[in-house]
Amino acid sequence: MKAATLEFLKQRFTDYYQQEYLLVPPSLGQREWGFIFFDPDYPEIRMRRHIGFSGREELITYVRSMVPAHAYYSTAYYMTPGAPTMNEKKWLGADLIFDLDADHIVRGPYDLMLARIKEETQKLISMLTEEMGFDPGAISIVFSGGRGYHIHIRDISVRGWGSGERRELIDYVCGIGLDPALVLNHRTPSPRGWHQRYISSLTEYLQRLDAMDPGEAVRELSTLEGVGKVTAEEFYKKRRELMEKLKNSPERVNFRDHTIGKVLPALLEAKTGNFYALLLDKAARADEPVTTDIKRLIRMPSSLHGGSGLRVTPIGIREFPDFDPLTDAVVFGDRLIKTDVSMKLGMSLRGNHYQLEKGVNDVPEALAVFLCCRGIAEIAGGV
């Protein structure tokens, strides 16, 4: 990154931090903080962490004078958050966190990735509130400023949980460890939940098999681990009977039947297979290690994401359906800035679409910040 670009970004970030109201997390005094600054070798990542603040004023003064490119605090609560090693900090508990990042799900244009991950977030929120029963008031949704959303759950009853308890939750939302025989056997199945999700994924899959050329279908089935041609053929013959059972009496699907007992688990094991893709569509694909990590740093809501210049934006559950990050998380203005773009690109921001040629373009400040932060443009003229 050129010095002029670095200077431009630093100035824009300074303006933001001087003027905007900054949010601080509850129990500020028990959080560890970490920052990445606009050092001369930025965006080379060097984090300064193990920092503690005694109160709101101290933190805000620090942020306003240091103007970080990225600001993070610990999801954990510590006795001595500023201590230099994790052991000395004395862990007291941690918020429950889910991280949804489009990177793990879909590649493509930025707005598309954002739209996709929003759906994923909505699925997660409905599992959290309607299935697990979390109070919507204890859940906060935050646009990460990058390619996704963070969910913070500050429910006192889960604060002391270790990785094991948190793993139950993340495995549940992602559908990890699902056992077909067990979920089909639920006695009083609810219209939500994995019983239903499994049945509808499997039904869809069987319908697809049914619509395929029989030879093709058998070939697909016999690519499964431990499934030979004979078993595949047997299973194919049973497809309609199985669909019927799934519809009317799923508890009667017989796993002692060699074919069923072999193929249904194998379908689930084939992580790159067509069935698994259907099942994943019904899961909420949050990033597993983030939830099980009880000492994670997470972006500070209301700070700026140095990789996009977008605001790490908290969103109320009710506002979430209408939230559009490319409008609602944009904080900079329309002043035109000469920007040298490294490739031809199209991009939407605040409802306007911009088509940029490679080379110098006049673009609104907000877009200039975004492109420079992403590392795909440099400041061309004077700032």
Partner 1 sequence: MRVTLDLKDFVKYPFLKESQQFIGSYADSIEEFIQTNTGKIALRYALGRVRDALGDRENREKDSSSPGSDSFGVKQAVASYALARVLVSCQNDRSLIERLTRFEAQRAYSFLIDEEETKKEYIAWSVGIDIRNPEIPFIRYVETVSGLRDDRWRLVNREVRAGMVAVTHEEMDELVREQIRVLLTRQLPLKVPERICQLLQPALEQVTLVYQKQMLERFGTVEEDSFPPCIQAILMALTSGTNITHAGRFAVTAFLHNIGMDNNKIIELYCRAPDFDISKTMYQVEHISGRGGTEYTSPSCAAMRTNGLCVKRDALCEKVGHPLSYYKQKKRKGKPAPT
Please identify every residue annotated as catalytic. Answer: 99, 101, 287
**Residue 136 carries which side chain, given as an amino acid letter?**
P
Asked if 42 contacts 58 with a C-beta cutoff of 8 angstroms, the reply is no
Shortest Cβ 197–partner 1 spacing (Å)? 10
Residue closer to partner 1 (CB basis): 291 or 303: 291
Asked if 63 contacts 303 with a C-beta cutoff of 8 angstroms, the reply is yes
| 167 sits near partner 1 (criterion: CB under 8 A) | yes
Shortest Cβ 240–partner 1 spacing (Å)? 27
End-to-end CA distance of the chain: 15
List beta partners, residue 311.
304
Residue closer to partner 1 (CB basis): 170 or 368: 170
- Starting at the earlier edge strand, list the strands of the sheet with 148-153: 96-101, 148-153, 139-143, 313-315
Asked if 63 contacts 71 with a C-beta cutoff of 8 angstroms, the reply is yes
Q: Which stretch binds partner 1 (CB under 8 A): 168-176, 239-247, 295-303, 344-352?
A: 168-176
Shortest Cβ 149–partner 1 spacing (Å)? 20
Q: Which stretch binds partner 1 (CB under 8 A): 61-69, 72-80, 144-152, 155-163?
A: 155-163
Q: Give me Rg for the CA atoms of the chain.
A: 25
Q: Helices marked H in 37-184 — which ranges? A: 56-66, 86-89, 110-126, 163-174, 180-184
- Of 186, 238, 338, 350, which lies in the binding site for partner 1, with binding defined by CB under 8 A? 186
Q: How many CB atoms lie within 10 A of CB 301?
A: 24
Residue closer to partner 1 (CB basis): 110 or 161: 161
Residues 111-140 that bind partner 1 (CB under 8 A): 130-134
Shortest Cβ 194–partner 1 spacing (Å)? 6
Shortest Cβ 189–partner 1 spacing (Å)? 6
- Of 54, 190, 254, 342, which lies in the binding site for partner 1, with binding defined by CB under 8 A? 190
- Starting at the earlier edge strand, list the strands of the sheet with 70-74: 47-51, 33-36, 70-74, 297-299
In the block, which residue shows the tokens 């429950």? 96
Residues 71-100 that bind partner 1 (CB under 8 A): 85-87
Residues in touch with partner 1 (CB under 8 A):
85-87, 130-134, 157-158, 161-165, 167-172, 175-179, 182-183, 186-190, 192-195, 288-289, 292
